[in-house]
Amino acid sequence: MSEPLRLGIAGLGTVGMGVVKIVQAHGDMLARRAGRPIAITAVSARDRTRNRDADLSGYAWESDPVTLARRDDVDLFIEVMGGDNGPAKAATEAAIAAGKDVVTANKALLAHHGQALAEAAEAAGRVIRFEAAVAGGIPVVKALTEGLAANEIRRVMGVMNGTCNYILTRMESAGLPYDQVFEEARQLGYLEADPNLDVGGIDAGHKLSLLAAVAFGTRVSFDAVELEGIGRVSIDDIRRAADMGYRIKLLGVAQMTGRGLEQRMSPCLVPADSPLGQLQGGTNMVVLEGDSVGQIVLRGPGAGQGPTASAVMSDVIDIARGIRVSTFGQPATTLTAAVSAKATAPAPFYLRMALSDKPGALAKVATILGEAGISIDRMRQYGHEDPTAPVLIVTHRTTRDAIDHALSRLPATGVVEGDPVAIRIESV
């Protein structure tokens, strides 16, 4: 049998230890499938004394991940430390310079530095693979770079942050307000150290920007992703949306239009009976649409030790087999700098507002919407005891600009209390 592929693992947290456990538990199976043994030779982490529930005594230990990346007995550098700069970036650059291939689960690193790292790797004849960085155990990068490589991709869409999906589905099932479920998620350890990475849509936006680069052959442009988190989604919105046959999801959508590349990560309504609408808990789902294949739906665990380590090892096995795919599916120097476009494609919108209990209040709202070119598909007014009445409106297809124009004029009517809520309804 061939010489073993020797791994150096930087980061022994949840994902890193998941990789260790897979290699230790399935060594023979991995060797058969890869055509050569896969062995861990060295590891690195900040705290050597921490109990990690596995025997690490057979591996060399480096306190500095950059030193690990340069070791002569490491062929493949696995970066699972996290962070878009600092040790993760320095060690990845060192590995490439030392002639190592790289497998990473670090979506932030690639979202900010993916183009430069990919160019450096390819200039050195090396590869960077990142299946574990997007949607956990779902093989979506492999689907785009291999299974759908003959397709012109029309749209990439999905729920890519399990914590946000947990919060939204928990709010609905338990009838609890956002703040209470947010704190519950924190206590369960579901939130990042900086919770805004999750609930602000940043983590999911990183993932969307990577998928868009692969799907459309463009340079990663995370700064162009329109980001809106879930912090403003209320239990009232969730209940009212359900009454109208919808559920609210933090949904990422990327598509190439005649004006440029649209990338948005924001709360959207989706039909409750659609695959995305039925997605519960921390599960992720990615929808890919190609010109030849049509629509493909991939569903699975978006995080966790086993699923993410599984994705890391899928890239390791490919490299062991000699399968060498460019980081973003084509040579990095051929990726184009996409023209960024705001999401202006028409869509229905959900509007919720509180109207004063005055004669003609609804008529005034309808007039404003009509003058903005917005037609009403459905409308529902709820019984009330307060001086204001909650009103829901589902529009026909319109643009966000038209919605914003109408909302800006509503206060002048004198019948709208507080700030109206407008959420896009996405077709699935």
Residues acting as catalytic residues: 207
| 349-356/283-290 β-pairing | unpaired
CA angle 199/203/206 to nearest 5° reads: 145
Number of H helices, E strands in the chain: 14, 16
Enclosing H/E stretch for 254: strand 246-257
Task: Find where tokens 């994902």 sit.
Answer: 15
Task: Find where tokens 């009103």 sit.
Answer: 391
Enclosing H/E stretch for 366: helix 361-371
For residues 358 and 379, what is the distance between their CA atoms, to the nearest angstrom? 18
- For the packed helices 14-25 and 305-321, what is the interaxial angle rounded to 10 degrees? 60
Q: Where are the alpha helices (DSSP H) in 175-275?
A: 178-187, 196-199, 202-216, 235-243
Q: Where are the alpha helices (DSSP H) in 159-287?
A: 162-174, 178-187, 196-199, 202-216, 235-243
Give the up-direction half-sphere exposure of residue 162: CA atoms within 13 A in the CB hemisphere. 21
Task: Find where tokens 């476009």 sit.
Answer: 341
Give the up-direction half-sphere exposure of residue 180: CA atoms within 13 A in the CB hemisphere. 9
